[in-house]
Amino acid sequence: MIRFVLALTALLSVGGCGSGTEDLVRAAADGFTSAAAAGDTDRACSLLTERAREDVDCSSLDVPGEPVREVEVWGDAARAVTDGDVLFLRETSAGWRVAGAGCAPRGERPHECAVGGR
Q: Would you write out the chain's pLDDT as a tens digit for each of its 118 residues?
A: 444 333 333 333 344 445 799 999 999 999 999 998 898 989 999 999 999 998 888 888 888 788 899 999 999 999 999 998 899 999 999 999 999 998 888 888 888 888 887 5
**pLDDT value, residue 65:** 80
User: What global pTM score does this model have?
Assistant: 0.79
Residue 53 belongs to a domain with what CATH number?
A: 3.10.450
| C-alpha span between 89 and 51 (Å, rounded) | 12
User: DSSP class of residue 22?
Assistant: H
Q: What angle do CA 101, 75, 61 make, to 5 degrees?
A: 15
Neighbour tally for 48: CB within 10 Å: 23
- Which domain, by its residues, includes 83? 2-116
**pLDDT value, residue 2:** 46
**pLDDT value, residue 9:** 36
What is the domain count for the chain? 1
